[in-house]
Amino acid sequence: MIKIYHNPRCRKSREGLQILQESGKDFEIVEYLKENLSFDEVKIIIDLLAISPIKLIRKNETAWKEHYKGKTLNEDDIISAMIKFPKLIERPIVVNKRKAVIGRPPETIKQII
């Protein structure tokens, strides 16, 4: 099943959700700011995206600037930061089976649905 990791307050995430709704396909919405993701879930998403954890970080978020910017962090540290501060996670993320994309721009989602 298709999953969208969604933040309803984010315009790009809402646009991504609309693309899924218009596709007519079944999908699950994961509001990751309400439903805390586990370390393993974030790691799986990163693996499916085929990126390093730092590429999933929103570096302009206050939590990043206040707690992590300029520090030497390994991949586990970065994933742990996303668990502690889920707003740091880039959005939306759409997963379909063994593929995933970050929906920026939202049209990218069409590649995997």
Q: How far apart are the first and last CA of the chain?
A: 10
Distance CA 4, CA 102 (A): 10
Residue pair 106/20 in contact (Cβ under 8 Å)? The answer is: no
Residue pair 3/113 in contact (Cβ under 8 Å)? The answer is: no
| Active site (annotated) includes residue 10 | yes
Of residues 3, 10, 87, 99, which has the active-site annotation? 10
* Catalytic positions, written as ranges: 10
